[in-house]
Amino acid sequence: MPTPDSAAPCPCGGETYGTCCEPIITQSAKAWTAEAVMRSRFTANVIGDLDHLWRTWHPRTRPQRVLPSGNQWLKLEVADVVDGQPGDVTGVVEFVATYRDNWRTKTMHERSGFEYRAGRWLYTEALPPTQ
């Protein structure tokens, strides 16, 4: 998918792209919460911005290269947020993402771990979802 117009709805389900994920993806603004980074990472998957995924992945856990998933990401629902606010050091964002893979619609349920490092929130790992 091409990059949305700034006035278009943000792929993450937030505000308009220009007031939600665009400033974070283009690095013109910081993500102040773990949830904001997670939403921007979902949007980066939608638009194919692999550089943003790499930049927001903790160096301790990120791969040398980020490869495209091959999925068509359709919808994001945030289920829970634990910490990950200004002043926190870690955070967890639980979400359900709907995507299309080989013409079948599927969901991915994940709890993503984040760490605040060097003035920014970084994705660290996928954690098992809560039951």
Write the pLDDT tens digit of every residue in 87-103: 999 999 999 999 999 88
Q: What residue type is assigned to position 127 of the chain?
A: L
Tell me the C-alpha distance between 8 and 3, whole Å: 10
CATH class of the domain at 17-127:
alpha beta
Q: Report residue 128's pLDDT band, with 50, 70 and 90 as the boundaries.
A: confident
Residue 14 backbone phi and psi in degrees, to 5? -85, -140
What's the CA angle centered on 14, arms 55 and 5, to 5 degrees? 75
Say which residues have a Cβ less than 8 Å from residue 99's Cβ, sequence separation at least 6. 69, 71, 72, 73, 74, 105, 106, 107, 108
Q: Each residue of 55-66: pLDDT tens digit?
A: 999 999 999 999
Q: Distance between CA 92 and CA 32 in Å, rounded?
A: 14
pTM: 0.95
* Domain boundaries defined on the chain: 17-127
State the residue for tokens 């220009």.
Answer: 18
